[in-house]
């Protein structure tokens, strides 16, 4: 646990030190759970967004984009169920005065059982060596089965109690499991209460005539209310999708995990409109497709897992999360939800407008079903950033900090370094920067010894360093150094563009899907 916490702390401080993420309004001591993206962070974030957008919109003929407003007519949120049901169950610890989400306390307890299972697997793998069969072990080992059964029973009971709004039983469950306040160790809990997460604001010039509005808590509703506009003007045929990225706002009760849970964050959502009855097939399709997108980034298959929901939201008939191994354990990164016709029907009812599709093949109109994929851009940023940050022991006994970002996402693709600040080397290096900057984000760095500059670029996540030395003046070749292998090669300046392109092009990365 201490190791995990240390790792997380080093992620947060590295993000600040290298210009990725700053606390918002830091000079005023910050604002809780609100963050700013700095000069490198904004590039990484933009690249992740683009990687998603390309895979979703550009690569799929039947998916189009949208950028709907953050403010929406207030009835939207009545129809969507957010006014009545968008709340989290919260519980306070009477001694530490800290507030928690009751469901998260219980899920964390179950998470600890998962960690115990992982430990059993590690022990057994050591004991049995090459003959170890992990799948068989997970299916047959009595201790593992016991942990699994216990975890499932807890989640099931919690799901049922939340479904029935039986908050007294949620509290009873916390007490029966002996869950203590993670900060104080106290088990002195208040009752569980529901808390609505939407931020309210007002539109209008005077207090009397002002209209109550909400900052959108998800981008999805902007897609639903535009369903017919897009379908008609884009002549879209079912099945088709609408994708959008944008800010969402939630007054999160517990927001202590850096950019994992923020009050202002960005979502990347896609709503896929389908024929009723085909939802299972599309649910499977999108679960598969989204996992492949994640795996294409090469961050390790073991770091992902699906978690099927026990408690379904009021709109869903099936839902799963893609969970990622963050520094604080496996947590939700993306949701895939089969939303039925709940949203479009609700908007039909509240607006009095038909939101239907006329199916020429079947010669009838229907309200489409919806399959949603919804990922937090900031959470994806944290997944990429935390997984990439590594401390490496080198052969010569020294260590280096390296940010092994997937090169397709790295803010700077190459740094161009003159070996010394004289003899015409800076001029040649500047010329290379001028040539490459049309195609890639590149930087120029001449300060300090070249070894220190390599380390700085490693920590910054730059995949390539290109060094101009005295030989360059003779033969127009440079040394190109690879961040991950630290391998250095002599190449002609004229080949730089194709070498970098090969490694960082979105096409090459997306082809791995
Ligand atoms: P959680 O259970 O962690 O609160 P959720 O199930 O409420 O998340 P969804 O409503 O399904 O999340 O939102 C879709 C995605 O948006 C999530 O998978 C997550 O990546 C992202 N997300 C949700 N809330 C936040 C937040 N407060 N900060 C950052 N990202 C968020």
Instruction: Give the model confidence (pLDDT) of 34-66 as tens digits.
Output: 999 999 999 999 999 999 999 999 999 999 999
Place of tokens 């290298």: 18
The Cα–Cα gap between 72 and 76 comes to 7
Place of tokens 């129809």: 79
Tell me, yes or no, whether 348 and 223 share the same domain. yes
Run of H or E including 271: strand 264-274
- What number does the ligand 1 atom closest to the CA of 263 have? 27
The two structure tokens encoding residue 480: 């190109």
Distance 220 CA to ligand 1 centre (A): 13
CA atoms in the 13 A half-sphere facing the CB of 173: 27
Task: Read off φ and ψ for residue 72, nearest 5 degrees.
Answer: -135, 160
CATH code of the domain in which 146 resides: 3.30.40.230
Point out the domain boundary residue: 173, 196, 219: 196
Run of H or E including 334: strand 329-340
Tell me, yes or no, whether 181 and 154 share the same domain. yes
- What number does the ligand 1 atom closest to the CA of 374 have? 14
Residue 71, classed as helix, strand or coil, is: strand
166 DSSP 8-state letter: -
What is the model's pLDDT at position 278? Answer: 96
User: Is the CB of 261 inside a 6 Å radius of any atom of ligand 1?
Assistant: yes
Quickly count: other Cβ atoms within 10 Å of residue 75's Cβ.
Answer: 13
Tell me, yes or no, whether 51 and 129 share the same domain. no
Q: Are strands 442-444 and 414-418 parallel, antiparallel or unpaired?
A: parallel
User: Is the CB of 241 inside a 6 Å radius of any atom of ligand 1?
Assistant: no
What is the model's pLDDT at position 109? Answer: 95
What is the model's pLDDT at position 1? Answer: 52
The Cα–Cα gap between 135 and 371 comes to 31
What is the model's pLDDT at position 227? Answer: 97
Give the burial string for 148-176 (b: 16+ CB within 10 Å, else e). Answer: beebeebbebbeebbeeeebebbbebbee
Q: Where are the beta strands (DSSP E) in 327-383?
A: 329-340, 357-359, 364-366, 369-376
* 49 in Cβ contact with 67 (< 8 Å): no
The Cα–Cα gap between 346 and 244 comes to 21
Tell me, yes or no, whether 101 and 184 share the same domain. yes
* 35 in Cβ contact with 255 (< 8 Å): no
The Cα–Cα gap between 221 and 361 comes to 29
Distance 245 CA to ligand 1 centre (A): 14
Any residues with CB less than 8 A from the CB of 474 and at least 6 apart, and which?
Answer: none
Cα-based torsion angle of the residue sequence 185, 188, 191, 193 in order, rounded to the nearest 10 degrees: -30
Quickly count: other Cβ atoms within 10 Å of residue 9's Cβ.
Answer: 12
Distance 357 CA to ligand 1 centre (A): 30
Instruction: Let me know if residue 343 belongs to a domain.
Output: yes
Q: Which residues share a beta bridge with 492? A: 477
The Cα–Cα gap between 174 and 492 comes to 65
Tell me, yes or no, whether 419 and 379 share the same domain. no
Distance 492 CA to ligand 1 centre (A): 48
Tell me, yes or no, whether 427 and 280 share the same domain. no
Q: Which residues share a beta bridge with 464? A: 414, 482
Any residues with CB less than 8 A from the CB of 210 and at least 6 apart, and which?
Answer: 202, 203, 204
Distance 86 CA to ligand 1 centre (A): 12
> Which residues of the chain carry a pLDDT beneath 50?
none
- Nearest-CA residue for atom 2 of ligand 1: 332
Point out the domain boundary residue: 172, 196, 220: 196
The Cα–Cα gap between 294 and 298 comes to 8
Task: Read off φ and ψ for residue 164, nearest 5 degrees.
Answer: -85, 5
R_g of the chain computed on alpha carbons:
26
What is the model's pLDDT at position 208? Answer: 78
Total domains in the fold of the chain: 3
Instruction: Let me know if residue 345 belongs to a domain.
Output: yes
The length of the chain in residues reads: 513
Any residues with CB less than 8 A from the CB of 246 and at least 6 apart, and which?
Answer: 67, 68, 70, 219, 222, 266, 267
Tell me, yes or no, whether 219 and 357 share the same domain. yes
Instruction: Let me know if residue 243 belongs to a domain.
Output: yes
What is the model's pLDDT at position 315? Answer: 77
Closest by CA position to 508, among listed 399, 408, 427: 408
Tell me, yes or no, whether 23 and 65 share the same domain. yes
What is the model's pLDDT at position 377? Answer: 98
Instruction: Let me know if residue 223 belongs to a domain.
Output: yes
Tell me, yes or no, whether 366 and 332 share the same domain. yes
CATH code of the domain in which 39 resides: 3.30.930.10
Tell me, yes or no, whether 263 and 292 share the same domain. yes
Instruction: Let me know if residue 405 belongs to a domain.
Output: no
Task: Read off φ and ψ for residue 270, nearest 5 degrees.
Answer: -140, 125
Instruction: Let me know if residue 404 belongs to a domain.
Output: no
The C-alpha angle with vertex 24 and arms to 18 and 25, in degrees rounded to 5, equals 115
The two structure tokens encoding residue 138: 């997970």
What CA–CA distances, in Å, run from 345 to 87, 229, 258, 500? 22, 16, 37, 50
Instruction: Give the model confidence (pLDDT) of 83-123 as tens digits.
Output: 988 888 999 999 999 999 999 999 999 999 999 999 999 99
Point out the domain boundary residue: 168, 196, 224: 196
- What number does the ligand 1 atom closest to the CA of 250 have? 27
Task: Read off φ and ψ for residue 38, nearest 5 degrees.
Answer: -90, -170
Tell me, yes or no, whether 54 and 103 share the same domain. no
Residue numbers of the domain that contains 154 = 87-196
Distance 376 CA to ligand 1 centre (A): 6
User: Is the CB of 92 inside a 6 Å radius of any atom of ligand 1?
Assistant: no
What CA–CA distances, in Å, run from 8 to 14, 255, 260, 385, 409? 10, 15, 11, 11, 21
What CA–CA distances, in Å, run from 177 to 152, 288, 317, 401? 14, 35, 30, 41
Tell me, yes or no, whether 228 and 367 share the same domain. yes
Task: Read off φ and ψ for residue 294, nearest 5 degrees.
Answer: -60, -45
User: Is the CB of 323 inside a 6 Å radius of any atom of ligand 1?
Assistant: no
The Cα–Cα gap between 372 and 294 comes to 16
């Amino acid at each position: 646990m201490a190791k995990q916490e240390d790792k997380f702390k080093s992620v947060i401080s590295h993000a600040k030190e290298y210009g990725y993420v700053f606390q918002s309004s830091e000079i005023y001591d910050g604002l809780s759970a609100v963050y700013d993206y700095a000069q490198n962070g904004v590039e990484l974030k933009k690249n992740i967004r683009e990687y998603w957008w390309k895979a979703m919109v550009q690569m799929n003929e039947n998916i189009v984009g949208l950028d709907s407003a953050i403010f929406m007519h207030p009835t939207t949120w009545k129809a969507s169920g957010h006014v009545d049901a968008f709340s989290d169950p919260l519980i306070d610890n009477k001694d530490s005065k800290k507030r928690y989400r009751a469901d998260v306390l219980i899920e964390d307890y179950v998470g600890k059982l998962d960690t115990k299972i992982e430990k059993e697997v590690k022990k057994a793998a050591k004991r049995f060596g090459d003959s170890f069969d992990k799948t068989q072990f997970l299916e047959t080992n009595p201790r593992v089965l016991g942990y699994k059964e216990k975890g499932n029973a807890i989640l099931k009971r919690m799901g049922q109690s939340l479904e029935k709004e039986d908050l007294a039983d949620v509290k009873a469950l916390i007490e029966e499991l002996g869950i203590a306040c993670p900060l104080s160790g106290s088990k002195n809990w208040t009752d569980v209460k529901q808390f609505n997460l939407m931020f309210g604001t007002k539109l209008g010039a005077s207090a009397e005539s002002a209209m109550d509005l909400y900052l959108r808590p998800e981008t999805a509703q902007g897609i639903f209310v535009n369903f017919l506009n897009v379908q008609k003007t884009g002549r879209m045929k079912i099945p088709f999708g609408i994708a959008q990225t944008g800010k969402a706002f939630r007054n999160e009760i517990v927001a202590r995990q850096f950019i994992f849970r923020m009050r202002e964050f960005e979502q990347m959502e896609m709503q896929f409109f389908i024929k009723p009855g085909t939802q299972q097939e599309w649910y499977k399709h999108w679960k598969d497709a989204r996992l492949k997108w994640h795996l294409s980034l090469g961050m390790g298959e073991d770091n992902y897992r699906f978690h099927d929901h026990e408690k379904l939201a009021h709109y869903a008939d099936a839902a799963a999360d893609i969970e990622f191994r963050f520094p604080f354990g496996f947590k939700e990164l993306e949701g895939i939800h089969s939303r039925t016709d709940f949203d479009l029907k609700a908007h039909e009812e509240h607006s009095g407008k038909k939101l239907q599709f006329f199916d020429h093949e079947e010669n009838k109109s229907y309200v489409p079903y919806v399959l949603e994929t919804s990922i937090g851009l900031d959470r994806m940023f944290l997944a990429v950033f935390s997984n990439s940050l590594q401390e490496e022991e080198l052969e010569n006994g020294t260590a280096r900090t390296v940010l092994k970002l997937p090169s397709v996402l790295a803010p700077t693709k190459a740094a161009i370094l003159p070996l010394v600040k004289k003899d015409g080397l800076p001029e040649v290096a500047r010329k290379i920067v001028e040539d490459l900057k049309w195609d890639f984000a590149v930087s120029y760095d001449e300060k300090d010894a070249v070894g220190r500059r390599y380390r700085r670029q490693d920590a910054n996540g730059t995949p390539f360093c290109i060094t101009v030395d005295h030989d360059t003046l003779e033969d127009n070749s440079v040394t190109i150094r690879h961040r991950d292998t630290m391998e250095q090669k002599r190449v002609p300046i004229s080949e730089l563009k194709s070498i970098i392109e090969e490694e960082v092009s979105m096409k090459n990365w997306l082809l791995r899907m």
